[in-house]
Structure 1
Amino acid sequence: MPAYPPEPWRVKMVEPLRVTTRAEREELLREAGWNPCLLRSEDVYVDLFTDSGTNAMSDRQWSALMRGDEAYAGARSFYVFEEAVRTFYGYEHVIPVHQGRGGENILSRCLIRPGTHVPGNMYFPSTRAHQELNGAAFHDVIVDAAHDPASEHPFKGDVDLGKLRAVIAGCGADAIPYVSLAATVNMAGGQPISVANLTETCALAHAHGIPVFLDTARAVENAWLVKQREPGWAGRTVAEILLALCAPTDGAVMSAKKDSLANIGGWLALRDPALAEQARGLVLLYEGLHTYGGMAGRDMEAIAAGIAESVAEDHIRARVAQVEYLGARLGDAGVPIVRPAGGHCVCIDAAAGLPHVPRTEFPGQTLACAVYLEAGVRGVERGAVSAGRDPATGENRWPALELLRLAIPRRVYTRAHIDLVADSVIAVHRTRERITRGLTFAYEPPHLRFFQARFKPAC
């Protein structure tokens, strides 16, 4: 069992939680169409649906809110925000957006044209949706180990350079507007990319005139895992490693609702001044003025403070240790999980845990419902439901991984809460034979269906 360091914070304010009965949860889940996403938060005891925007802000962040300059144009808070991004991520041109997918939309509209191709180290639903809606096809070039939950490969976010070369050769460099990388890789279970591999990937892409853009939403967690796992980096600070991860890339998309410990906000950061000017023009149309991008001044102040806090060694050590502790408890009890533990979540291998539930009945979604029914713990499916349908054929995509993701918000839950989660998941696993059938769609929206779909028990 990994060490569980005392939390490097103390509680100043509490938010009451409501305990429900199993009978109440059964009724609530039926009303939500067997989709935990559609539950009201007041009906969830421990909410691990996402770590995005669900973090607890510090006293320094709350005080920063009071300094927010709400001027429409050229607010002082923008320049505070801009300087924090430049200092800790190293990009010159900083364009605020309301959250990460706002940046994905802008970048896709700037660079993608119909018939183009975007390679990346595994898809993320909103990222791929923006790429496909603008006419591109996504190509997964991640290492094979990323698709094997049992593999202990320390950097499952690495790019298979042979796969990337094949995409460039097959599609032609002119048809590839950019390479899309994530640090860490969410859909693989929060798995990191190594500095060495990211640097080699950028060198290969740049040799063909292809830019590389990095999803940095959890790059601080990636930097911590590099410090622990990649030779030669143990003696470097997390802040130094974060800059090293960003350095070879041409820009980044950021959801500040993750590593930056904020409840809303994000940015698009670029090195090319011409591309930055194009992006600012689109931000004016879709987000707001280029000096606020859909955020209030107080939000930008909170993000700037959160960026500085995010690279504090005590903070990130305790944050990742909490994830590792949950993973160890589940793994030691025989629950099949994605190994090694990632930076922000523990993912349960639902296909292995519920082998008697066919993929067509969505075992990841089925397991998410079972865990909620057990103790009011909410996670999210990361499998075929999240993968959606192929836009050309309309057929379901069947990814290699069929997971239940338990994403832990930062600075929110205590060890007692994490033990409750572990006990609940272990109890479901030990009685898994009682789950005799899965789920099918009762309603299926066209995009990002895992958010709004409704299900019914399979016949």
Structure 2
Amino acid sequence: MNTPFEPYRIKMVEPIRTTTRHERQQALQQVHYNLFRLPAELVMIDLLTDSGTGAMSAEQWAALMRGDESYAGSASWQRLEATARHITGMPYILPAHQGRAAEKVLCQALLQPGQVVLSNTLFDTTRAHIEASGASGVDLPCLEAADPALEAPFKGNMDLSALEEQLRTLGDRVGLVIVTVTNNSGGGQPVSLDNLRAVAEIARQYRVPFFIDACRFAENAYFIQRRAPGQSGRSVADIAREMFDLADGFTFSAKKDGLVNIGGLLGLRDPELMERACAALILNEGFTSYGGLAGRDLEAMSVGLREVLDPDYLRYRIESTGFLAERLHAAGVPVLRPSGGHAVYIDARAFLPHLPPGHFPGQSLAAELYLEGGVRSCEIGTVMFGEHARWDLVRLALPRRVYTVSHLLYVAETVAEVYARRSSLRGYRITEAPQMLRHFSAHFEPIERVAAVRPA
């Protein structure tokens, strides 16, 4: 069938307030055109992020009642630790309140000033923690990733030749190799099992730790099952376990493929690194059996880690994202091809060719989608990454188990309406911004007049 089928029934609803265009225009002006600053009640369809915005299952809500709130050695932690070890095979598991906290602990425990971290593509918080530790990050995406319209199955891969070249050139300065699955900043594209195997082997040859940013490990494993030759007969859980078996450790935001609203994990194999990480965790997050989380959060995460590997859930998750992507593609909207697992990415430079990157086409498009239909999205481009930006994208991230097909159709109609009058959209300039992670709190203003720029 062409229509995605939600493999769940709705037991509780939350009303969506219908806003007017005038209300949305006023709201944009009041928050200086930064969608992160909008009150959630003024957003009709919220696709800002899939991080912590999903709906928990009946089993997860039931698990909350089992929460053991003991400070040390709680039964809730023991259940989560056992689940995480079973899925990942990692001997050492540490909890954290979210993925960026696990990144912070890892960077404090592992990296030294002047070191370099090599990645397929670092996400914003990962790069920020690397730089805060005095190190620097280098992105090495595969060649196929350079073309947003190219149909290739694993555009999230790392460039293996570039990886070896960097390791030969930098030598001992390389402190970590990390692969993000799926590649969020690269358009939510999956990483192949062959690429992970090769990266792991190269890292071992140069004796550099290899980690996985495993926020969307189940979605990546599902793509491997569906797209990689010889993998269709394996379970997603089995593929995921092989992914983890290749790595020396992982960071994980449970707000994605943990199906919870808060939580994260750090997995390690090295006992010495584990000791340093424990010290950093206790200082920054809390004791090693709760990591800044309540016992009920640990219980919900344990259930979510099992539910995310359900084949019916994963099929719907990937098909619904593809459904929205195909609707936009059929309307002529330039979207990154093929669609990823958690989000649809619009190519804002191709959508708005009259706006140069310095006028932030992604921000312009995101603001207009909200103005048109109350749809909140996220700029992934020059605002977020500055000089590191390879393109300007607008990400429509789908919360897990929240919106139905009719919501997706409404989003597609909103984007199509804006696309029909795209030549009228203005660029933006930044009027105020912090030094790091500026996209969260920067102030913008529209540029009234923009000189036409001919498409390349």
> Does 2:30 correspond to 1:31?
yes
Per the normalisation by structure 2, the TM-score is: 0.97
Question: Counterparts of 1:341-352 in structure 2 under 5 Å?
Answer: 341-352=339-350
Structure 1 counterpart of 2:353, from 348, 355, 358: 355
> Does 2:400 correspond to 1:402?
no
> Does 2:433 correspond to 1:444?
yes
User: Aligned partners of 1:268, 1:444: CA distance in 2, in Å?
Assistant: 31
1:392 equivalent in structure 2: none
User: Aligned partners of 1:445, 1:163: CA distance in 2, in Å?
Assistant: 32
Contact 1:88 1:239 in 2 (8 A): yes
User: Aligned partners of 1:380, 1:141: CA distance in 2, in Å?
Assistant: 23
By how many angstroms is 1:148 displaced?
1.6
SS at match of 1:440: strand
User: Aligned partners of 2:148, 2:37: CA distance in 1, in Å?
Assistant: 28
> Does 2:448 correspond to 1:453?
no
2:423 equivalent in structure 1: 433
By how many angstroms is 1:159 displaced?
1.2
SS at match of 2:358: helix
SS at match of 1:300: helix
The residue type equivalent to 2:138 in the other structure is H
1:111 equivalent in structure 2: 110
2:414 equivalent in structure 1: 424
2:14 equivalent in structure 1: 15
For residues 276-325 of structure 1, give each alpha carbon's deviation from its aligned partner in whole angstroms, at most 9, with x where no partner exists. 12101110000000100000000000000000000000001001111000
For residues 114-150 of structure 1, give each alpha carbon's deviation from its aligned partner in whole angstroms, at most 9, with x where no partner exists. 1111110012110001111111121111102213211
The residue type equivalent to 2:28 in the other structure is L
Contact 2:4 2:405 in 1 (8 A): no
Contact 1:155 1:193 in 2 (8 A): yes
By how many angstroms is 1:412 displaced?
0.2
The residue type equivalent to 2:93 in the other structure is V
User: Aligned partners of 2:89, 2:215: CA distance in 1, in Å?
Assistant: 15
The residue type equivalent to 1:399 in the other structure is A
For residues 234-257 of structure 1, give each alpha carbon's deviation from its aligned partner in whole angstroms, at most 9, with x where no partner exists. 111111111111111000000000
By how many angstroms is 1:443 displaced?
1.1
SS at match of 1:348: strand
By how many angstroms is 1:11 displaced?
0.4
The residue type equivalent to 1:107 in the other structure is L
1:255 equivalent in structure 2: 253
The residue type equivalent to 2:430 in the other structure is F
CA spacing shift, 1:118–1:403, aligned 2, 3 Å: same
By how many angstroms is 1:273 displaced?
1.3
2:164 equivalent in structure 1: 165
Contact 1:66 1:298 in 2 (8 A): yes
Contact 1:147 1:188 in 2 (8 A): no
User: Aligned partners of 1:212, 1:247: CA distance in 2, in Å?
Assistant: 11
SS at match of 2:396: strand
User: Aligned partners of 2:391, 2:241: CA distance in 1, in Å?
Assistant: 31
The residue type equivalent to 1:450 in the other structure is H
By how many angstroms is 1:5 displaced?
3.1
1:321 equivalent in structure 2: 319
Gaps of 5+ in 2: 449-456
Per the normalisation by structure 1, the TM-score is: 0.96
SS at match of 2:179: strand
The residue type equivalent to 2:65 in the other structure is M
Structure 2 counterpart of 1:382, from 377, 380, 383: 380
Contact 1:4 1:318 in 2 (8 A): no
Percent pairwise identity: 46
Contact 2:4 2:323 in 1 (8 A): no
For residues 177-230 of structure 1, give each alpha carbon's deviation from its aligned partner in whole angstroms, at most 9, with x where no partner exists. 110111100011110000111011100110111110101110100011111111
> Does 2:236 correspond to 1:238?
yes
Question: Counterparts of 1:48-197 in structure 2 under 5 Å?
Answer: 48-172=47-171, 174-197=172-195
By how many angstroms is 1:398 displaced?
5.2
1:340 equivalent in structure 2: 338
User: Aligned partners of 2:246, 2:3: CA distance in 1, in Å?
Assistant: 34
Query: Aligned-pair RMSD on alpha carbons?
Result: 0.9
The residue type equivalent to 1:145 in the other structure is E
The residue type equivalent to 2:136 in the other structure is A
By how many angstroms is 1:3 displaced?
2.8
User: Aligned partners of 1:262, 1:398: CA distance in 2, in Å?
Assistant: 31
Contact 1:68 1:300 in 2 (8 A): yes
For residues 346-394 of structure 1, give each alpha carbon's deviation from its aligned partner in whole angstroms, at most 9, with x where no partner exists. 0000000001011111000110000001100000000011104xxxxxx
1:411 equivalent in structure 2: 401
Displaced runs of 4 or more, over 2 A: 2-5
By how many angstroms is 1:4 displaced?
2.8
User: Aligned partners of 2:89, 2:443: CA distance in 1, in Å?
Assistant: 43
The residue type equivalent to 1:414 in the other structure is T
Question: Counterparts of 1:204-215 in structure 2 under 5 Å?
Answer: 204-215=202-213
2:277 equivalent in structure 1: 279
Number of aligned residue pairs: give it.
Answer: 448
User: Aligned partners of 1:148, 1:449: CA distance in 2, in Å?
Assistant: 27
Gaps of 5+ in 1: 389-396
SS at match of 1:123: coil
> Does 2:214 correspond to 1:225?
no
User: Aligned partners of 1:400, 1:334: CA distance in 2, in Å?
Assistant: 22
The residue type equivalent to 2:177 in the other structure is V
User: Aligned partners of 1:269, 1:398: CA distance in 2, in Å?
Assistant: 28
The residue type equivalent to 1:64 in the other structure is A
Contact 2:182 2:219 in 1 (8 A): yes
Contact 1:3 1:321 in 2 (8 A): no
SS at match of 1:188: coil
By how many angstroms is 1:43 displaced?
0.3
Deviation larger for 144-153 or 417-426: 144-153
